[in-house]
Structure 1
Amino acid sequence: MNIEARKISLLKEVLNIDNEKIIRAVEELLHRKETEAFEEDLKPMSMARYKSEIKEAIKDEKNGRLIKVEDLKKQIQGWD
């Protein structure tokens, strides 16, 4: 079963839950997982990864894969 089918199946199961405690537990689990994922992103990277990111940024700049802030703002305004 692919991810979309699994999500639909899960939603159907949740819609059939009538127990407040179970709903609260599902909510707490989802919020806890979101928090854990967010906190994982906040962990400091290793020096090797940091240096790799810097090298990649320098390559991006040399190969013209950057965008000026003014141009980015114009693009964002066009999203509306």
Structure 2
Amino acid sequence: LYLDEIITRKELDEKNDKIKTERQFLEEQLENQKSNVLSIRKRKLTRLLKDFDVEKLSYEDASKIVKNIIKEIIVTKDGMSITLDF
């Protein structure tokens, strides 16, 4: 549109500024939503683990839980690092 002289450079800049502002707002909203979801998950997990008794679980059930909460295990000659998936 600018190249075809349908809008001025000033109008183009104003539209760009508006789009950048809207994008920044949406990115902030998305980040807030992500942190809220993580907070909710942590609270639920804390509540579930409060009454959790690992000794009452069968091996299969305990194995399922471990596979669901562990993202990766890295073993090196200096030690071991476990990354949880929450």
TM-score of Structure 1 vs Structure 2, range by shorter chain: 0.3 to 0.5
Q: What is the TM-score normalised by the length of structure 1? A: 0.38
> Higher strand fraction: Structure 1 or Structure 2?
2
Kindly name which structure, 1 or 2, has the bigger radius of gyration based on alpha carbons: 2
Q: What is the TM-score normalised by the length of structure 2? A: 0.36
Higher relative contact order (CA 8 A, sep 6+): 2
> Higher helix fraction: Structure 1 or Structure 2?
1
